[in-house]
Amino acid sequence: MSYLVLARKWRPKTFSDTVGQEHVLRALVNALESGRLHHAYLFAGTRGVGKTTIARILAKALNCETGVTAEPCGTCSACKEIDEGRFIDLIEVDAASKTKVDDTRDLLDNVPYAPARGRYKVYLIDEVHMLSKSSFNALLKTLEEPPPHVKFLLATTDPQKLPVTVLSRCLQFNLTRLTPRLIQDRLEYICKAEGIEAESSSLAMIARAADGSMRDALSLLDQAIAYCGGNVEQASVAVMLGTIDREHVSRLIELLASGDAAGIIAALEEIDTQFPDYARLLEDLARDLQKIAVCQVVGSIDDDEELSNEHIAALAESLSAADVQLFYQTALIGRRDLHLAPDPRGGVEMTLLRMLAFRPAQAGQSGGPVAAGGSQVKAAASNTPAAAAKPLQAKLSDPARKAAGQTQWQDPDWKSLMTEIGLSGAVRLLAGNCALLRREGNTLFLSLDPRSESMLTRQRKEALSTALSDHFSEPLLVDISMGEAVAETPMQEETRLADERIEAAIESLESDPNVQALKNMFDAELKTDSIELINPTQDEQIRSRE
């Protein structure tokens, strides 16, 4: 008998067997029990989270010989045939390979006919976003007025590509990524049922590598069983996945906290002997820094991996909040740009050294100079929250700063700064409605006029951070909060100045002898709302013509 892979063998066959997605399962169970069934369901989510699995269970629930039920029996001929993929009234279509309109029309030709065996004829269209525009148009009419014996179950990894006309005719369920803890628990259950010896730490590695996908986790578990010879051990799984020992990541954070550049280089030399995945190293580093940041705020974390609360708390004590935020952001940028580096190890080295070079300095000390030969970074920073909260300014001398190509930070005129850094479009509008409050470490705190809240988006905020970082040649973050600003925003200043010019113009016209003569002669009235300001450029053009 041929071997059945774990992803197929352990595919859930009932709603109660399904792991995660409780919000979707609850809605479907309630609909089945109450008889309030829609004609079209859309399941959206990343790969391996249960879209087609839930759709097949729903098809069984609709066609079980015991009746429409939230708990299909699994033993009747209809349930068995659906599990085996040979139920004649469950028509499964891979839209990725059936994109043409003729394929869709052939599929829909049989919609009017009653089901051959089951209660409902169920069309399960996977990756439905791959259909062409003409195919969607052909499907639309059927979705709008389907026969009572037909149900459409659509699955997609990219719902944004579906026409709104199709979306509006479906009940949409968004399936979420599964958490590493949930995946690990499921893997432990399966290993126990299969009689496989597996270390908990090795299954935690597989759960993280699966990136929210249960199917990927089971495929990796199959691979690990074959690689390890049946006994799934942490060391072997780490080699298989190309992952870094978590102790190495913790060690790197400790070296960052102490500013030990030479120690970081030595640690990377040791890591390099393991043939690591350097992109995953930066991901793990960012993940642990995120845990440290949470611990600094709430005092503890709900840890479901190897690092204990005590270890995270110790690292949180050794780093200031500003350092953690800077290191986290630098790790993300380094991960993004890793493919641009001459080699992955060199890219990681530069990312870690950049963390130290840009680390805020203590008051009265130089900010992160690198010693001769680049072997030691003497970046000194306070580890106390009180020191981290003080606004920090760059201390490099003018010649050193010119050599480094940096613009010295000084509390700027916010309006002038927007022009200097070349902001435009929606980002300039966002910045123009903000007032600069203060700088703390590498974070600029801005206050946004509450009337302009709709302008604040993640993309515009990131674009503003990037423009400021490029201008001052150091990584700067932007923290924008709603509230009445102490200082006047550039837009408020422009509005005030424009109002003042209008008022001055009205007063000038009202007192002009010619205007008064016209008013007296014709009983005229000055239409103040028709007065328009001339900007400086227009004014110069008018003067030149005169």
Strands 434-440 and 443-448: antiparallel
Cα–Cα distance measured from residue 375 to residue 349, given in angstroms and rounded to the nearest whole number? 12
Each residue's pLDDT tens digit in the chain (546 positions)?
Answer: 467 889 899 999 999 999 889 999 999 999 999 999 999 999 999 999 999 999 999 999 999 999 999 999 989 999 999 999 899 999 999 888 877 788 888 888 888 889 998 999 999 999 999 888 888 888 888 888 889 999 999 999 999 899 999 999 999 999 999 988 999 999 999 999 999 999 888 898 899 888 889 999 999 999 999 988 878 888 888 888 877 667 788 899 999 999 999 999 999 998 888 767 889 889 989 989 999 998 888 877 765 555 567 778 888 888 999 999 999 999 999 999 999 999 999 999 999 999 999 887 643 344 444 433 343 333 333 343 433 333 333 333 343 344 444 445 567 788 888 888 888 888 888 888 888 888 888 899 888 888 888 888 888 888 899 888 888 888 989 998 887 656 677 777 777 777 778 777 787 877 888 778 777 776 777 777 777 766 554 455 444 544
Helix (H, G, I), strand (E, B) or coil at 231: strand
> Do residues 22 and 45 make contact, with C-beta atoms less than 8 angstroms apart?
no
Any idea how long the chain is? 546
pTM above 0.75, yes or no: no
Cα–Cα distance measured from residue 520 to residue 499, given in angstroms and rounded to the nearest whole number? 28
> Do residues 475 and 358 make contact, with C-beta atoms less than 8 angstroms apart?
yes
For the chain, domains (ranges, CATH) are 6-174 (3.40.50.300), 180-241 (1.10.8.60), 246-389 (1.20.272.10), 403-491 (3.30.300.150)
Q: Which helix (H) or strand (E) holds 197?
A: strand 197-198
DSSP letters, 452-464, are GGGG--HHHHHHH
Cα–Cα distance measured from residue 119 to residue 246, given in angstroms and rounded to the nearest whole number? 54
> Do residues 494 and 428 make contact, with C-beta atoms less than 8 angstroms apart?
no
Cα–Cα distance measured from residue 419 to residue 430, given in angstroms and rounded to the nearest whole number? 13
Nearest partner of 257 among 323, 310, 329, judged by Cα: 323
Retrieve residue 131's tokens: 């259909």
Cα–Cα distance measured from residue 272 to residue 521, given in angstroms and rounded to the nearest whole number? 93
Retrieve residue 126's tokens: 């996977």
Nearest partner of 203 among 234, 167, 235, 236, judged by Cα: 234
Strands 150-156 and 121-126: parallel
